[in-house]
A and B are shown apart, each in its own frame.
Chain A
Amino acid sequence: RKEVEQDPGPFNVPEGATVAFNCTYSNSASQSFFWYRQDCRKEPKLLMSVYSSGNEDGRFTAQLNRASQYISLLIRDSKLSDSATYLCVVNYRNRDDKIIFGKGTRLHILP
């Protein structure tokens, strides 16, 4: 099983719709979780950290389920500018700190 898995998509979603994607992780020692956004041929940028209690930032909601070892990202009222690749990031510590990126989920918002 891969350390961090995401559905690669693409998710083709009409503007204004709600879209959600999950990311599963294999290491129960995982400590920190993030969602990053990456536009085509650009560097990743932090979208939001993911807290145990769940957190919301405007139209974006992130949730963590430690028991089932997944995190989720929900985007409400999607905009054309939300089109990007969304990268799930997990940090865990065994002997060393490790930070693992998923391969990303591609999202296309359709006009």
Chain B
Amino acid sequence: ETGVTQSPTHLIKTRGQQVTLRCSSQSGHNTVSWYQQALGQGPQFIFQYYREEENGRGNFPPRFSGLQFPNYSSELNVNALELDDSALYLCASSPSTGGMKETQYFGPGTRLLVL
């Protein structure tokens, strides 16, 4: 086990709704990254937070937003849900360097289904 936890484990929403996913990073890690993994695909980088600031973003629209809290836990918010947002959402934490070169430790993910 990596020590990275995510909640909820599963979620069902309808189109147009909003969702908040949560992640607690491994102890001692202050960098959190979020990924979207569709069925049969590799994880796609959404964004990374380092010390409560966004530190890099992938090709996702602004309706994907995030937060990092002083305890380094993080939230991913998705507004105006679309059917294609159905995926496994993975959170990964890494040690305190703020870059992407470090090993990432993944949580078990949240499976989101949008109907």
Interface size of A by CB at 8 A reads: 22
* B33:A101 contact, CB within 8 angstroms: no
Q: Which of A31, A45, A102 contacts B101 (CB 8 A)?
A: A31
Instruction: Tell me the count of chain B residues lying within 8 A, CB to CB, of chain A.
Output: 25
| Contact between chains at A99 and B45 (CB < 8 Å) | yes
Q: In the complex, are the beta carbons of A96 and B42 less than 8 A apart?
A: no
Name the residue on B nearest A88 (C-beta).
B42
Interface residues of B in 16-42 (CB under 8 A from A): 33, 35, 40-42
Interface of A is mostly: strand
Whether B108 lies near A42 (C-beta < 8 A) is: yes
Let me know if B108 and A32 touch, CB within 8 A. Answer: no
Say whether chain B's binding surface is mostly helix, strand, loop, or mixed: loop
Residue of A nearest to B103 (CB): A46
Among B53-61, B68-76, B79-87, the stretch in contact with A: B53-61
Chain A's closest residue to B58 (CB) is: A98
Cα separation A93 to B48 with both chains bound (whole Å): 14
Encode B92-109 as 1/0 by CB contact (under 8 A) with A.
Answer: 000000011101111111
On B, residues with C-beta under 8 Å from A are 2, 33, 35, 40-45, 48, 55-58, 90, 99-101, 103-109
